[in-house]
């Protein structure tokens, strides 16, 4: 079995040091503090996702064949933060839709496999949660959706934080192709000390810059020392365009193959993922400088999330956790207002 390059997909949040502030203020695009995604309401959060192919736009003009999770065509998800305009959930995006839920919610994810038939089965793993999978076929790590079919995953959002989700089927290829995303679990009991709003000075500065408060919550955890002012979710990844090009070539060859007695057509992909030579380095599915454009920019129909941080002196922004494939997003606890 080929080793999995899972180190390439890292979900984490960042506390950007004050030394970066001058750089941020020089950026031509203004960005609001936000971790955009789709959310569920009430005691049950249901997400109808699909896995399918599309092309990613790159700043060098290339359009790279990829696979990604997205919202089932015709579905009407609820977007968060609600204040962000032009929100969309295409049928394929990289990273996949950020699933925003609340501690204690029951979460159901229905995954439909719309990848090319030659790609075979696909699935989703939700590390950190006790998942019940129904439907589909039995795979190595979880229940999988065969081409054209659906599998259902159910779990309870037991604790606040941010975790990755990604394909549990032939991960060295499917995660590389773009099948990954994040789950944000908001605290159910936000400490009252955190709900008093931003300091007056910060509010005045944000008004002067035409900004709004786009936080998903006023605290990271159910703890009075977990208040914060701004949050960003950055998912870092690398992409070897050669792997993607080989996958596309094999998909096209299989679809156009005319079998004969002497030469039967192949039915499954056989794409080598080693040696690995990444040619694009992305934040939230975009390469520099595209990641500075706003969320849901029309020029990136399959890359909706930006990677442009913005803050003011004295504001508390979330600190990164350990660099691992699946960890809760960690914040630096401190008294509020934090020094």
Q: What does the pLDDT look like over 216-237, one tens digit per residue?
A: 888 888 888 888 888 888 999 9
Using a pLDDT cut of 70, give the percent of the chain over it: 81
In a domain, residue 18? The reply is yes
Looking up residue 103, the CATH number of its domain turns out to be 2.60.40.420
pLDDT of 230: 80
Tell me how far apart the alpha carbons of residues 188 and 158 are, in angstroms, rounded to a whole number.
Answer: 10
Closest CA to 177 of 273, 299, 38: 273
Look up residue 210 and give its two tokens: 């035409």
Position 243 pLDDT exceeds 60: yes
**Residue 121 Cα distances to 4, 34, 49, 241, 247, angstroms:** 17, 34, 15, 22, 15
In a domain, residue 22? The reply is yes
User: pTM of the entire structure?
Assistant: 0.83
In a domain, residue 260? The reply is no
In a domain, residue 253? The reply is no
pLDDT of 336: 34
In a domain, residue 248? The reply is no
In a domain, residue 262? The reply is no
Position 211 pLDDT exceeds 90: no
- Lowest mean pLDDT of 33-42, 93-102, 193-202, name the range: 193-202
pLDDT of 225: 81
| pLDDT higher at 160 or 18 | 160
Position 72 pLDDT exceeds 50: yes
Per-residue pLDDT of 127-178, as tens digits, reads 999 999 999 999 999 999 999 999 999 999 999 999 999 999 999 999 999 9
Average pLDDT over residues 261-277: 87
Average pLDDT over residues 251-261: 85
Tell me how far apart the alpha carbons of residues 320 and 16 are, in angstroms, rounded to a whole number.
Answer: 9
CA end-to-end span of the chain, whole Å?
50
Q: Which domain holds residue 64?
A: 6-243+268-292
Per-residue pLDDT of 23-43, as tens digits, reads 333 343 444 567 899 998 778
Residue pair 39/87 in contact (Cβ under 8 Å)? The answer is no
Average pLDDT over residues 180-208: 81
| pLDDT higher at 280 or 31 | 280
Q: Which helix (H) or strand (E) element contains residue 172? A: helix 171-177
In a domain, residue 207? The reply is yes
Give me the sign of the Cα torsion angle 22, 27, 32, 37.
negative
Residue pair 255/115 in contact (Cβ under 8 Å)? The answer is no
In a domain, residue 306? The reply is no
Per-residue pLDDT of 288-335, as tens digits, reads 999 889 899 999 999 999 988 777 777 777 643 333 333 333 333 333
Tell me how far apart the alpha carbons of residues 198 and 314 are, in angstroms, rounded to a whole number.
Answer: 11
Average pLDDT over residues 67-76: 93
Q: Please give the tally of structural domains in the chain.
A: 1
């Amino acid at each position: 079995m080929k080793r999995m390059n899972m180190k390439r997909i890292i979900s984490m949040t960042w506390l950007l040091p004050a030394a970066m502030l001058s750089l941020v203020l020089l950026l031509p695009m203004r960005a609001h503090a936000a971790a955009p995604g789709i959310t569920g309401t009430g005691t049950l959060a249901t997400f109808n996702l699909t896995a399918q192919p599309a092309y990613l736009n790159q700043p060098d003009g290339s359009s790279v064949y990829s696979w990604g999770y997205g919202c089932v065509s015709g579905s009407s998800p609820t977007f968060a933060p609600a204040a962000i305009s032009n929100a969309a959930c295409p049928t394929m995006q990289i990273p996949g839709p950020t699933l925003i839920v609340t501690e204690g919610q029951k979460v159901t994810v229905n995954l439909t496999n719309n990848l090319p038939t030659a790609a075979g089965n696909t699935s989703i793993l939700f590390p950190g949660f006790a998942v019940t999978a129904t439907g589909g076929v039995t795979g190595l790590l979880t229940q999988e959706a065969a081409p054209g079919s659906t599998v259902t995953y159910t779990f309870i959002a037991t604790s606040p934080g941010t975790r990755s989700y990604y394909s549990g089927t032939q991960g060295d290829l499917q995660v590389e192709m773009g099948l990954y995303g994040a789950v944000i679990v908001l605290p159910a009991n936000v400490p009252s000390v955190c709900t008093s709003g931003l300091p007056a000075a910060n509010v005045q500065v944000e008004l002067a810059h035409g900004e709004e408060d786009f936080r998903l919550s006023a605290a990271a955890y159910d703890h009075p020392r977990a208040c914060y002012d701004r949050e960003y979710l950055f998912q870092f990844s690398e992409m070897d365009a050669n792997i993607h090009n080989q996958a596309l070539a094999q998909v096209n060859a299989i679809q156009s193959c005319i079998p004969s007695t002497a030469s039967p057509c192949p039915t499954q992909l056989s794409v080598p993922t080693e040696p690995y030579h990444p040619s694009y380095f992305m934040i939230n599915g975009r390469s520099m400088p595209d990641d500075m454009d706003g969320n849901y920019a029309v020029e990136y129909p399959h890359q909706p999330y930006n990677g442009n941080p913005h803050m003011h002196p004295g504001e508390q922004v979330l600190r990164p956790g350990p660099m691992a494939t699946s960890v809760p997003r960690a914040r630096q606890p401190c008294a509020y207002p934090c020094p």
